[in-house]
Amino acid sequence: MVELRQVSKYFGKSLAVADVDFHVEPGEFLTLLGPSGCGKTTLLRMIGGFETPSAGQILLDGRDVTHLPPYRRDVNQVFQSYALFPHLSVWGNIEFGLKTKGLTRVERHRRVREAIELVSLDRLELRRPAQLSGGQKQRVALARALVCRPRVLLLDEPLAALDAKLRRAMQVELKRLQARVGVTFLFVTHDQEEALVISDRIAVMSHGRIEQLAPAAHIYHQPATPFVADFLGQANLLEAQFCSRDGQFVELLAGGSLRLRVPASAIGDDAPAFVCIRPERIELHRQPPTADNVFAARVRERIFRGANDQLLLETDSGCPLNATTRPRADSAFEVGDRIFLQIQPADVVLLPPAARGADR
């Protein structure tokens, strides 16, 4: 449905997007994720026709639209600010795009009514934007974008202005809505949790390039680069050096002091430069288990995070690690406790020194 071929964008001499090359399948929910200034909004604006690429091609459903204006592309966009017309009612805002297309009054009425029911705005049709909550404004913006039945819907951080609880609820609703209408969604956010919740695939961006593009679960559990591992969720990211090989296992020196055994099959042609260990994959014990990758440690800090505790640990060899646990009241680890942590060999993700490029 959407295809980018070696797309780049310069603003003067500053490179905002560099040789981006990917495609979005029909009906897919794809998220562009990255920190501020990484180029994700610029990329979205080029797809929408609000910016012109300095190089490369943009295709929508096989049609080259690289130099076409927004109104000649079968796309619509939901902005972070919603961009609702303050003088129009909910009904008027949703109907506006249909009027510009010249649809009959009967057809407009039918489509607006369907859109209002789709986003659960019943009995709010006559209100003005100033009389709506943040979540209601978001629904109006979605309905206005969807009522014209675009092939692709572009969403530029549309949930950023909502409070945390409403934002989480809207994430689930947005995913359900997308599955129901079957429109291709291209979503921009800097919120890692949000990207994991709503996306079929995620494109993680850094400095105008895509570091990795893959399904959400794959990116989280198998990050391709140190940047992806560190940006998406919490991670223990340690420099690694090859030590020895023993049959089906390889021993690595991680963080300057941890000797980790990992499956030899996980080692490619090049020795890894980093290892990534997710905090929730670290197992904590009061007594040392008989297994590989067991290290004595001390609890240096305990941070209460509701359902989980975050523990800042320091191994006897001096390596700091983050771990998360779901404690019971009678078994919580406290600051100063001496414990034993275990890292399963399969839970150690090996990373190269530089980007391997996006998974296609």
pLDDT tens-digit readout, 235-264: 999 998 888 888 788 888 888 888 988 887
313 vs 315: CA distance, rounded Å: 6
86 vs 226: CA distance, rounded Å: 45
359 vs 22: CA distance, rounded Å: 9
Enumerate the β-bridge partners of residue 210: 205
147 vs 208: CA distance, rounded Å: 32
Per-residue pLDDT of the chain (360 residues; tens, 9 = 90+): 899 999 999 999 999 999 999 999 999 999 999 998 899 999 999 999 999 999 999 999 889 999 999 888 888 888 877 788 899 999 999 998 888 887 888 999 999 998 888 888 888 888 998 998 888 888 898 888 888 888 899 998 888 877 888 888 888 888 888 888 888 999 999 999 899 999 999 999 999 999 999 999 999 999 999 999 989 888 999 998 888 888 788 888 888 888 988 887 777 666 678 899 999 999 999 898 888 899 999 999 999 888 888 999 999 988 999 999 887 766 678 899 999 999 998 899 888 875 444 443
What are the residue ranges spanned by the domains of the chain?
Answer: 2-223, 234-351
CA 99 from centroid of its chain's CA atoms: 35
Match domain 234-351 to its CATH number in 2.60.40.10, 3.10.20.30, 2.40.50.140, 3.30.700.30.
2.40.50.140
Joined together, the tokens standing for residue 293 give: 């990758």
Q: Which of 219, 222, 256 is nearest to 348 (CA)?
A: 222
- Residue labelled with tokens 């092939």: 151
| Beta strands 75-78 and 152-156, pairing class | parallel
Q: What is the DSSP letter of 266?
A: G
8 vs 173: CA distance, rounded Å: 34
115 vs 146: CA distance, rounded Å: 7
In the prediction, which pLDDT does 269 show? 60
For residue 55, the one-letter residue type is: A
Contact between 171 and 187 (Cβ < 8 Å): no
Q: What is the DSSP letter of 12?
A: T
Question: What is 2-223's CATH number?
Answer: 3.40.50.300
In the prediction, which pLDDT does 329 show? 64
In the prediction, which pLDDT does 58 show? 95
